[in-house]
Structure 1
Amino acid sequence: MTLLGTERVAVPALRRSTELRRRRRSAAGYLFVAGYTLLLLAFGVFPTGYSFYLALTNDRGQFTGLNQFVKVAQDYRFLPAFGHMLVYLALWLVTLVVLVVLVAVVLRSRVSSGMSALLRFLYYLPGALAGVASVLVWLFMLDPDVSPVSWLLESMGMHTFAAVLSPGNLPLILMLIAFWTGAGGWMVVMYGALNNIPDEVLEAARMDGAGPWRTAWHIQIPMIRQWIVYMTILAFATGTQLFVEPQLLQTASLGRVSPTWSPNQLAYVYAFQQGDFNGAAAISVCLLVVGLLAAGLLVARSNLFTLDEK
């Protein structure tokens, strides 16, 4: 067989082998995402679609348009519940972003590797507790009769548990609980993002005379901006689902905290106390729309999914 004939036989065989490898890789990829896709459809897409169906119909399944949304919006508890949630979100997101990024930068730049690993482990420990357990710990901490920091509470004029759980204090208390349980995990994530910054970039900044804080502000933080936006989006979504913490505080305070303090609590009252699942679905859809609008705004303004040019 001539050399030309050998090439004519080898090229199609090589193409078939390449195509076979490509198909195998594609099949493996589909297999890896199949489980997640099924769970997403079962516990994400289908419940969301059913919520829209309930929100647009009445208890007899008749289409009513936006009547359910008008009904819940006219409820005197609706605007206060969303107002409480927005105040809590403002405190929670500002505190989370500022302190998490600050601590991560300090651990990366100013603390030895061994001590940094120990501190990251300690910061992460509260996140291992379930939400209910975290609230119970904070109930103990917030009761002046048994709290180890009762002197601090009393110095602030809060001599009783009822005074601590006054309506004006609730956003701050819930923010502290959320930060205590959730910030440690994000510190680990931000620390990992900072580790992806090449040492050559930081060394060049030092050679140009930039100190630690100028390096952090002008180089490190801008280079992990997309991670910060990602954290903000997920934290916002988590914050809109506020339910366990105010519900337990309401129970522990013997009714001093409103049972409809957050939108999720109001939806719970609609569904399981009033038997109005359509109204509860309308509140849930409102929360979904708020979350999607906030996420879309952050993604659009931050170019979160823009690929870096090589």
Structure 2
Amino acid sequence: MTVAPTPVARTGQRPTAADSSSPARPRTMRRAQNRAPWILLAPFLLLFVLTFLLPILVAIGQSFTAIDREGLFGEEGVTSRFAGFDNYALALANDGFVASIGRMLLFGIVQVPVMIVLCTVLALLLESASAKWPQFFRAAYFMPYGVPGVIATILWSFLYVPGLSPFIDVAGALGIRLDFLGPDTVLWSIANIVTWTYTGYNMLIVVAQLKSIPREVYEAARVDGANAWRLAWTVQLPLIRPALVLTTVFSIIGTLQLFVEPQLLQNVAPAIDSEYTPNLSAYTNAFAFNDYGVASAQAVLIALAAFVLSYVFLALSNRKAKR
């Protein structure tokens, strides 16, 4: 019985292109592979267009449109026409809307730095080597963010209203008069709610950045004799700068979008009118006066203000980083 010899590869000879390359894939398979990512992304892209891009485009288009109603309630006909920049002129001529933007700028100048400093200090304390039960306190500080804004505002309103607030009762017994809902204090009462709600959320962003710092950096700093304070000031703070910039930008945008807290506190705070914040002013024009053109113009102006403020902050931050 003879056995056929097994072919042995010849040494010293390079494999040809036909031997080394895989068989050419059919063109239809390549097309299917090219389409696969788009098919997987299609649900997200569809929702993104319908819930984000389309409302923005509709708002921009509506901001250049005016509606004329014939009759007392438009019963004789409703027509729309191109209004140019008339709606923007009306929005900027509204003293209440302009005052609300200034009010939110003051709010942001005070509240945003306080919240960023507070969340940074909490993150540094929780990530220090001597911190006890860091996971428990991390969850406790984050818990207020899980409370819906409506519920949080209602809970805090009980602590602001005279006759219901234990703080006001205790202060009154000591001869101190507290008015959390007065014209000069209600803005900072809202700032307290916002700070209580979002400090824990921003703290987790900073904590995530702290955890990404390599251990070798800490070990090198300790070898150089750095104590806990020196370590936080010269090592941790510079390395968590991207997280601080991100949380500050989010806070700037959120400041101009403030809506839920003042709308709910309207019921117990006479100092809060229908145009106390820019978003509240746009909401009032749209759903109380049915002036959707002016409301859309106000929404576009709010978005532009948020973009400009965020861009200026990022430009200043990048300039400092380069120095």
Residue type of the alignment partner of 1:72: A
Structure 1 residue aligned with 2:309, among 294, 300, 305? 294
Q: Aligned residue for 1:118?
A: 136
Question: Based on CA coordinates, which of the two structures has the bigger radius of gyration?
Answer: 2
Pairing 1:182–2:201 present: no
- RCO higher in 1 or 2 (8 Å CA, sep ≥ 6)? 1
User: Residue 62 of structure 1: SS of its match in structure 2?
Assistant: strand
Q: Could you tell me how far apart the structure 1 residues matched to 2:171 and 2:296 are?
A: 40
Contact 1:108 1:194 in 2 (8 A): yes
How far apart are 1:14 and its partner, in Å?
7.5
Structure 2 residue aligned with 1:83, among 92, 102, 105? 102
Q: Could you tell me how far apart the structure 1 residues matched to 2:310 and 2:24 are?
A: 44
Q: Could you tell me how far apart the structure 1 residues matched to 2:44 and 2:183 are?
A: 41
Pairing 1:261–2:269 present: no
User: Residue 58 of structure 1: SS of its match in structure 2?
Assistant: strand
Q: TM-score, normalised by structure 1?
A: 0.86
Q: Could you tell me how far apart the structure 2 residues matched to 1:15 and 1:198 are?
A: 45
Q: Could you tell me how far apart the structure 2 residues matched to 1:211 and 1:15 are?
A: 63
User: Residue 109 of structure 1: SS of its match in structure 2?
Assistant: coil
Q: Could you tell me how far apart the structure 2 residues matched to 1:9 and 1:105 are?
A: 60
Q: Aligned residue for 2:91?
A: 72
Q: How does 1:202-221 map to 2 (within 5 A)?
A: 202-221=218-237
Contact 1:55 1:279 in 2 (8 A): yes
Q: Could you tell me how far apart the structure 2 residues matched to 1:235 and 1:257 are?
A: 22
Q: Aligned residue for 2:75?
A: none
| Structure 1 segments unaligned to the other structure (5+ residues) | none
Q: Could you tell me how far apart the structure 2 residues matched to 1:111 and 1:28 are?
A: 50
| Structure 2 segments unaligned to the other structure (5+ residues) | 1-6, 68-78
How far apart are 1:23 and its partner, in Å?
7.9
More helix by share: 1
Q: Could you tell me how far apart the structure 2 residues matched to 1:93 and 1:142 are?
A: 22
Pairing 1:8–2:17 present: yes
Q: Aligned residue for 2:56?
A: 48
How far apart are 1:301 and its partner, in Å?
4.1
Q: In the comparison of the two structures, how many residue pairs are matched? A: 297
Q: Could you tell me how far apart the structure 1 residues matched to 2:277 and 2:40 are?
A: 38
Q: Aligned residue for 1:139?
A: 157
- Which sits farther off after the overlay, 140-149 or 165-174? 140-149
Residue type of the alignment partner of 1:120: R
CA deviations over 1:186-241 (Å, ceiling 9, x no partner): 21221121011011101211221222222212211111111111111112212211
Q: Aligned residue for 1:104?
A: 123
Query: Aligned-residue CA RMSD in angstroms?
Result: 2.9
